[in-house]
Amino acid sequence: MKVVQKILLAGVVAASSLLGLSAHAADEAAIRDKLTSMLGLDVETIADSPVSGLVQVSTNRGLFYVSENGQYLLQARVFNIDEEMRNETEIALSGLRKDGVKKMESSSITFKAKDEKHEISVFTDITCGYCRKFHNEIDALNDAGITVHYLAFPRSGLNSPNYEDMVSVWCAKDPQKALTRAKAGSDVASASCNNKVAEQYMLGQKLGVNGTPNIIMPDGSLIPGYQPAALLTKALEATE
């Protein structure tokens, strides 16, 4: 798949150079309609990309690059060779992650540090072994000045008992206590309310989350998988 992406990218770039196209020449309405009608993607933004001949498209299923005529769609990483292999795609994704988790912060289950120095957002699942291991260190993280905002990412999808249980946790009278009990293996008491568990799950998919835990750092970078509290603390302190 990576080879195909590279071939397509090379072809599109070469074609755009020959035709002298610019990103502003793209028919945004046509691209939006095509991605929606043919691929079922919800297009959020269309912007210039770092590569001539392509536009950068943010959708509910992630970040893509599309040729200006709407014929080719690529899911790839763009590196800037002249800037020491700067990952242009990751820069774009980092911005999307920061904005996305900030908008969801009010609906997260938050374990706030008393002497807050850093904030992280963590996509989590109550049945995930490594999520439970991470949560076992929540006190150590808080003591280190790290506030944790948990966002729901039911791994079994939205039409599953797993999803219903996570809704019950988010709707509990004491969500923090309910989450801690659920991650300790206790049964989840059924509860319902207006909630954003589904929206948090879909945000995770948009941001490239495909497992749990996934940690969104303050700069928008993503750490896939479990990280011990001590290492995570060091990583955050290094950014100070």
CA 198 from centre of chain: 14
User: How crowded is residue 91: how many other Cβ atoms within 10 Å of its Cβ?
Assistant: 14
Catalytic residue among 97, 128, 132, 165: 128
Catalytic residue among 32, 97, 132, 155: 155
**First-last CA distance in the chain:** 39
Catalytic residue among 32, 97, 125, 165: 125
155 is catalytic: yes
82 is catalytic: no
Are 91 and 173 contacting, i.e. CB atoms less than 8 angstroms apart?
Answer: no
What is the spatial distance between Cα 165 and Cα 112, in angstroms, rounded to a whole number? 23
Catalytic residue among 131, 165, 174, 187: 131
125 is catalytic: yes
Alpha carbon separation from 73 to 35, 64, 120 (Å, rounded): 9, 7, 32
CA-wise closest residue to 234 among 132, 223, 154, 133: 223
Amino acid at 93: L
Question: Which residues form the catalytic set?
Answer: 125, 128, 131, 155
